[in-house]
């Protein structure tokens, strides 16, 4: 839904969400999000670690997938920022450009694995707002006990063990 919202806000194009692969040819832009049958048939890449993600352009489709649901979500946010030009400045401020012309080519493919599994920023916004934390790829929440968020899940509780781990 975030991808649909930001594509509409930046380009004016309403992305239609379909779950039936037979309907894909009806749209001029096709995205496959997560582990789907068509992704497994067409896209070659894989995302190994939980927070890793890939964006692969192949056969007129954009595949965004991750090593977990959270990794897929990070891939969607990477697309929103990198391709659409959206900037998540704070939980209250998001810069959304308008008039973006969406062009995808094979060179837009990205494979990314974060250097750290645990990423914490001791700022109030990233500690209490799970949506903003997900948009900034922060994996810890301090004041929020809802660690099983709809924003990819699997976030760490940062009450007692702040810091990082190096892979």
72 Cβ partners below 8 Å, 6+ apart? 33, 34, 53, 64, 65, 66, 152
B/e letters for 110-138, b = 16+ CB within 10 Å, e = fewer, are: bebebeeebbbeebeebbebbebbbbbbb
Q: What angle do CA 40, 69, 27 make, to 5 degrees?
A: 55
Per-residue pLDDT of the chain (167 residues; tens, 9 = 90+): 889 999 999 998 888 777 666 555 555 667 888 877 766 655 556 667 778 888 888 777 888 988 888 888 889 999 999 999 999 988 889 999 999 988 887 777 888 888 776 676 666 676 677 788 888 877 776 655 554 556 666 555 544 455 555 54
Backbone phi, psi, residue 72, to 5°? -65, -45
Q: Which ranges in 2-158 belong to alpha helices (H)? A: 2-11, 37-42, 69-82, 124-128, 130-135
Nearest one of 116, 101, 93, 104 to 164, comparing CA atoms: 116
Is residue 136 a contact partner of residue 126, using CB atoms and an 8 Å limit? yes
Could you tell me the two tokens for 123? 């700022």
Q: Which tokens go with 16?
A: 């239609």
- C-beta atoms surrounding 160 within 10 Å: 5
């Amino acid at each position: 839904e975030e991808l649909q919202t930001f594509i509409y806000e930046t380009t004016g194009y309403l992305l239609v969400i379909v779950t039936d692969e037979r309907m894909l040819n009806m749209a001029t832009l096709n995205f496959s999000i997560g582990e789907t049958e068509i992704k497994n048939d067409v896209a070659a890449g894989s995302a190994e670690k939980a927070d890793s993600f890939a964006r692969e352009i192949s056969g007129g489709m954009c595949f965004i997938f991750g090593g977990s649901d959270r990794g897929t979500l990070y891939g969607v946010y990477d697309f929103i920022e990198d391709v659409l030009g959206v900037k998540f400045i704070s939980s209250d401020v998001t810069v959304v450009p308008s008039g973006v012309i969406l062009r995808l080519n094979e060179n837009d493919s990205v494979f990314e694995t974060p250097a750290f599994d645990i990423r914490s920023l001791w700022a109030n916004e990233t500690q209490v707002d799970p949506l903003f934390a997900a948009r900034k790829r922060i994996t810890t929440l301090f004041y929020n006990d809802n660690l099983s968020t709809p924003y990819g899940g699997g976030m760490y509780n940062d009450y007692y063990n702040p810091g990082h781990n190096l892979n």
